[in-house]
């Protein structure tokens, strides 16, 4: 995908050009958080007051060229994902060589994610059966990284002739907030309905909740709360969804009995 490669290279050049004035790890993390905050603040009115404060706290650390660079990175990532579904940020993160070996942040190559998603979902008939009368299928990713597995799943759902923007809902968790910011940005730009959580999938503790524009604009909190799912049906997941929810989310929205469609 040449045009996608070009935009990815442009992002790498922007970090190279500005990396000497700032710590590269911090620069990348702050850039991801700012982009995630800008997207969230355009749709998530409940979280906006605190997130506005956080936005200005981060921006205040940088001079004008750096802030302009963040906007350019946002534009390049948007255009890269416009060119096709892929783990654009996971690729950039790895190319910048800032992945954290201690936290095991080696993201799965996208071609492997595609193969795994295909095996998980099966063909168009299986996908349609999963969606069934309820009209959607839910996926759970308990260690999402930048979101490669979810993006590949969306691609496979689309290849089955199904609009993932209407018929797939994702809950994704990562213990590392920077991974969550990356996943959130990619899901938001691809218009994947998703609830992305900073949390520990083993202890089920949660710290932050990020709802994509597709989740909020599609009324997914109500849609999920209104539809009970029979045990053992309509799922793609490995672990139960963490049970602590933000106040504005109906309790049933992020957990339902027997909802499992395994992504890894
Ligand atoms: C090897 S990466 C895989 C990411 C993604 N699933 C992929 O295939 O590209 C593992 C991810 O799990 C996250 N992680 C590790 N322990 C976790 C935990 N207890 N709860 C949630 N996420 C965790 C790490 O931060 C890291 O992003």
- Looking from the CA of residue 106, the nearest atom of ligand 1 is 1
Name the residue of 100, 115, 143 whose CB sits within 8 Å of the most ligand 1 atoms, as the mutation to test its pocket. 143
- Counts of helices then strands in the chain (DSSP H, E): 12, 5
Compute the radius of gyration of the chain from its Cα atoms: 18
Mean pLDDT within 155-172: 95
Would you list the domain boundaries of the chain?
A: 2-99, 110-254
Strand, helix or coil for residue 149: helix
Residue 218 clears pLDDT 50, i.e. is over it: yes
Residue 258 clears pLDDT 60, i.e. is over it: no
Mean pLDDT within 6-27: 91
Residue 125 clears pLDDT 50, i.e. is over it: yes
- Looking from the CA of residue 148, the nearest atom of ligand 1 is 9
* CA dist., res. 256 & res. 229, Å (int): 6
Residue 231 clears pLDDT 80, i.e. is over it: no
What is the band of 88 on the pLDDT scale with cuts at 50, 70, 90?
Answer: very high
176-186 residue pLDDT tens: 999 999 999 99
What is the band of 253 on the pLDDT scale with cuts at 50, 70, 90?
Answer: very low
Distance 134 CA to ligand 1 centre (A): 30
* CA dist., res. 27 & res. 21, Å (int): 9
Distance 107 CA to ligand 1 centre (A): 8
Residue 17 clears pLDDT 70, i.e. is over it: yes
Name the residue of 101, 108, 145, 170 whose CB sits within 8 Å of the most ligand 1 atoms, as the mutation to test its pocket. 145
Q: Is residue 262 classed exposed, middle or buried when 0-12, 13-18 and 19+ CB atoms within 10 A define those classes?
A: middle
Q: Is the pTM of this model over 0.95?
A: no
Name the residue of 90, 174, 202, 205 whose CB sits within 8 Å of the most ligand 1 atoms, as the mutation to test its pocket. 174
Q: Is residue 187 classed exposed, middle or buried when 0-12, 13-18 and 19+ CB atoms within 10 A define those classes?
A: buried
Q: Distances in Å between the alpha carbon of 50 and those of 45, 57, 113, 188, 257?
A: 10, 11, 35, 20, 33
CATH topology for the 110-254 domain: Rossmann fold (3.40.50)
pLDDT of 100 reads: 64
Distance 133 CA to ligand 1 centre (A): 33
pLDDT of 259 reads: 40
54-85 residue pLDDT tens: 999 999 999 999 999 999 999 999 999 999 99
Mean pLDDT within 203-219: 97
Residue 210 clears pLDDT 60, i.e. is over it: yes
């Amino acid at each position: 995908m040449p045009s996608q490669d070009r935009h990815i290279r442009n992002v790498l050049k922007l970090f190279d050009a500005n990396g000497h004035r700032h710590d590269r790890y911090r620069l990348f993390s702050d850039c991801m958080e700012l982009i995630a905050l800008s997207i969230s603040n355009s749709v998530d009115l409940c979280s906006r007051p605190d997130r506005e404060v956080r936005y200005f706290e981060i921006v205040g650390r940088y001079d004008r060229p750096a802030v302009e660079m963040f906007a350019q990175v946002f534009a390049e990532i948007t255009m890269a994902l416009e060119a096709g579904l892929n783990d654009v940020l996971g690729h950039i993160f790895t190319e910048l060589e800032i992945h954290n070996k201690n936290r095991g942040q080696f993201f799965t190559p996208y071609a492997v994610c595609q193969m795994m998603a295909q095996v998980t979902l099966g063909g168009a008939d299986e996908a349609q059966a999963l969606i069934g009368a309820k009209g959607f299928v839910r996926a759970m990713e308990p260690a999402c990284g930048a979101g490669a597995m979810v993006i590949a799943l969306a691609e496979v759902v689309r290849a089955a002739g199904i609009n993932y923007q209407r018929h797939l809902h994702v809950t994704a968790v990562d213990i590392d907030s920077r991974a969550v910011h990356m996943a959130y940005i990619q899901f938001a730009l691809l218009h994947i309905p998703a609830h992305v959580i900073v949390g520990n999938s083993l202890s089920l503790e949660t710290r932050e909740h990020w709802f994509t524009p597709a989740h909020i604009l599609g009324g997914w909190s109500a849609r999920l709360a209104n539809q009970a799912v029979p045990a053992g049906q309509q799922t793609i997941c490995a672990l139960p969804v963490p049970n602590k929810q933000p106040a504005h989310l109906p309790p049933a929205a992020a957990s339902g009995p027997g909802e499992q469609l395994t992504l890894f």
